[in-house]
Amino acid sequence: MKNYTVNRIEENILQINGLADNPLWQQAEVLTDFSSPWDNAEPEKIEFRALWDLKNIYFSYTVYDTNIHIDRKDDSVDSIGESDRIEIFFRTDETLNPYYCLEIDPTPRIMDFKASPAKKFDFDWNWPKNDIVIKSHIKEEYFVVEIAISIQSLMNFNLIKGRTIEAGLFRAKYKKQQNNLFEPTWISWVDPDTETPNFHVASSFGTLTLG
């Protein structure tokens, strides 16, 4: 499995602002190892970073994109699901029973849900609001999404085993086609080795190790 080491920082000094410009982010490993296994085109650059302290784990996505697509018809799951977004999935183990999905667009709207095998999604479930903070910012050449999640909530959902978190890191990029409809390109850190795009399988996950 692919692994990313999450470097530790001093407690309560990183305040996310949606810009990923805090100097503390320089202490994070930069992960750019994303691909689109089902598309021949090389995806635009994505920089993922993560840090942690005893209270929270922090994530930052910087996605280089000069043509961001956001479906603004409403704030529904369907609307977010038709928009460019980043995604982080967490699982308890390889059975995916259950796993938890965070899908966040650049504005930032969040589609968070609990899932079980065979793409059974519970959209009535939400990550506890007191345990997650999300900020974002859209620039001319890229957008940033920052996330802070409490360590306690990860423990409550049995998502930390020792110092390991099993996670999938993804991105959906919507591109306008000749018929004027938008179709997604699916981008992943781990190639799940599926014939068609599918992040909802055990093979799409890697590990995050708390350093």
| pLDDT tens string 103-119 | 999 999 999 999 999 99
**Enclosing H/E stretch for 152:** helix 151-156
Asked whether residue 130 carries a pLDDT value surpassing 90, the answer given is yes
Asked whether residue 90 carries a pLDDT value surpassing 90, the answer given is yes
Give tens-digit pLDDT for 142-153: 999 999 999 999
N-to-C CA span, the chain? 17
- What is the spatial distance between Cα 121 and Cα 205, in angstroms, rounded to a whole number? 18
* E-assigned strand segments in 142-205: 142-150, 164-176, 182-188
- What is the spatial distance between Cα 118 and Cα 123, in angstroms, rounded to a whole number? 15
Query: What's the rounded mean pLDDT across residues 187-208?
Result: 98
CA angle, residues 33, 36, 41, in degrees to nearest 5: 110
Instruction: Report the candidate in 64, 10, 198, 3 with the shortest Cα–Cα distance to residue 119.
Output: 198
Q: Which two tokens stand for residue 40?
A: 């021949």
Give tens-digit pLDDT for 46-88: 999 999 999 999 999 999 999 999 999 999 999 999 999 999 9
Query: What's the rounded mean pLDDT across residues 200-205?
Result: 98
Residue type, 1: M
pLDDT score for 42? 87
Instruction: Report the candidate in 68, 46, 52 with the shortest Cα–Cα distance to residue 16.
Output: 52
In this prediction the pTM is 0.96
pLDDT score for 40? 85
Asked whether residue 18 carries a pLDDT value surpassing 90, the answer given is yes
Query: What's the rounded mean pLDDT across residues 78-100?
Result: 97
Handedness of CA 190, 192, 198, 199 (dihedral sign): negative
Other CB atoms within a 10 A radius of the CB of residue 176 amount to 11
Mean pLDDT, rounded, of the chain:
97
- What is the spatial distance between Cα 36 and Cα 12, in angstroms, rounded to a whole number? 36
